Amino acid sequence: MNWQHHYATINGIHMHYVEQGEGIPVVLCHGFPHLWFSWHRQISALSDAGYRVIAPDMRGMGQTEAPSELSSYDIDHITGDLVGLLDHLGVECAVFAGLDFGAFAIYDLALRHPERVLAVIGLENPAAPHNPDEPPLTEYRRMGQEHFLHIEYFRVPPRADQELAAQPRRFLHKVFHTLSAAGNYFDVFKYPPETSYIDAMAEPPPLPWPWLSEIELEYFVSEYSRSGFTGGLNWYRSFDLKWLQRKPFEGIQSTVPAYFLGSEHDVDLEGFHGDDPIGLMRAIFPDLRAVRMIAGAGHMVQLEASSEVNQILLDYLQDIQQRQLQ
């Protein structure tokens, strides 16, 4: 692997990012509890095909700084990180791919700074969940009164911060299985609201799994053991701030070309994006050029179905490149 690790002060924080290759820039944005390493099977595949791949540790996670203020995790700061990363690299515009919070980040970027975005590729999450009539944490708090819900569990520090930091390996082992096609996140709804997330998840089988080795899990465990989980949890705790910042963009459509990649057993597609998730994305990105779904995979799709993901990303990037030449 010819990964190049870099550290820089960007948008007022110390950021870590990994880079490989030359060509059209492709920025890969992860969610929680992920890291740049969630893309490690994609980075070399894309760079070998002629692309300059950049995979940052997103704000608050991995080796990128985790500010303590909740306001530091709003849309202005998150999109500012991505614009600042391009500026630091001397890149005018790039293709952005994102999963989970990374997907929401690139959609917000495309609406606010379209001149910096060649195209967006969303994985699993077609649009940021948005009820214009009620702040999201209020909505999720009501849901969390009926049964366990991870978002409500995360909402008020320091319980989740402390419990996850006390057992990082157990949490990551469990949550990666729960979010995969082999698990079932919705089983946690059987537990009462006061349950801890670790206790609400089913026991996973021992590693290795067909898609994850012990040493791969250990990288995540090592990083989160050092950093703690508060930075990632602040992405949830800032939901209402982001909700307010998205209000001026309600009904506005982006001219940025978009692509989508989902999987058959994704928890977010099944339970958190309504009856027509692709319609939600098309309402924001009318130039939605392709939608591909991977059978038999869950939310951990980059790892669960690495070869399929790599081929679809390469297909999308080839289409973007060909259209640029027209």
Query: Per-residue DSSP letters for 278-297?
Result: HHHHHHH-S-EEEEEEETT-
Alpha carbons 324 and 81: distance in angstroms, whole number = 26
**Tokens read off for 94:** 């790039």
Token pair 């692709």 in the structure block, residue: 278
Q: Beta-carbon neighbour count of residue 172 at 10 Å?
A: 20
Query: What SS3 state is found at 90?
Result: coil
Active site residues: 100, 299
Please give the span between the terminal C-alpha atoms of the chain, in angstroms, as a whole number.
34
Burial class (CB in 10 A: 0-12, 13-18, 19+), 175: buried
- d(C-alpha 181, C-alpha 281), whole Å: 23
